Amino acid sequence: MILDKLNKAIDDLNMTPVKRSTLLISYFISNFLTTFLIGVIVLIISFIYLGFVGFYLTFLDVIMLFVSTFCMCLFGSLLASIIGTFISSQGAHSAVSTLVSSMYGFISGAYMPISQFGSGIRNFLSFLPSTYGTVLFRQYYMNGVINQLQTVEHVPSEITEQIRLSFDGKLVLFNNTIPTWTLFAVVIGTSIILLGIYILLSNLKGKKN
């Protein structure tokens, strides 16, 4: 999208009968498909790695990891597309991408568990939609290992529960554990809101042009 703005290809595309909103939606679809493909490849590589070191995932865990990847790629692509509509230079795009990816990845618990922070910061970070996606991934990756510890190693449930909480296998907000369906609901609901915003921006830009 940004390269088309820089080399003026966007002007040529705007001269075609294709609506501006359709053009912007196509940018999003392309972004999502590319992101999802990369996400699936990385997911498969993780399964291969686990096959060598210890594969404890159930079939349901594998399926839900693919579903989680789909949901988070949808969320990330929509967020990136919305930001991209306001950027017209490669330098600005690089700066914003670096800032958002590094900062947002850190505060959403992607780089280190948010359980390591104080309760106030944890509660604040728990309002970020991507935090819910992070917990989904860790939850499904950990399910098989936790079950192995409980059923085979006979580790007390109190200890395994603490392990799960320490690695963000569960999300606790104001001392209340957030159920799995709520994690999905927040990610999907936020994606729907972002989609509405992106469509609105596309239509507004189309009318402006």
pLDDT in tens, 38-95: 999 999 999 999 999 988 899 999 999 999 999 999 998 888 888 877 776 677 777 7
191, two tokens? 């994606």
Quick check: 206 pLDDT over 60? Answer: no
Residue 47, number of CB atoms within 10 A of its CB? 12
**At what angle are helices 59-84 and 20-53 packed, to 10 degrees?**
140
The answer to whether 132 and 171 are in contact (CB under 8 A) is yes
Among residues 56, 51, 5, 46, the alpha carbon closest in space to that of 27 is found at: 5
Question: What's the predicted TM-score (pTM) here?
Answer: 0.82
How many alpha carbons lie under 13 Å from residue 162 in its C-beta half-sphere? 5
At 10-47, the pLDDT tens digits run 666 667 777 777 777 888 888 899 999 999 999 999 99
Summarised one tens digit per residue, pLDDT across range 115-149 is 777 777 777 888 888 888 889 999 999 988 888 88
Q: What is the DSSP letter of 176?
A: E
The single-letter code of the amino acid at 56 is Y
One-letter amino acid at 154 equals H
- Token pair, residue 157, equals 């449930």
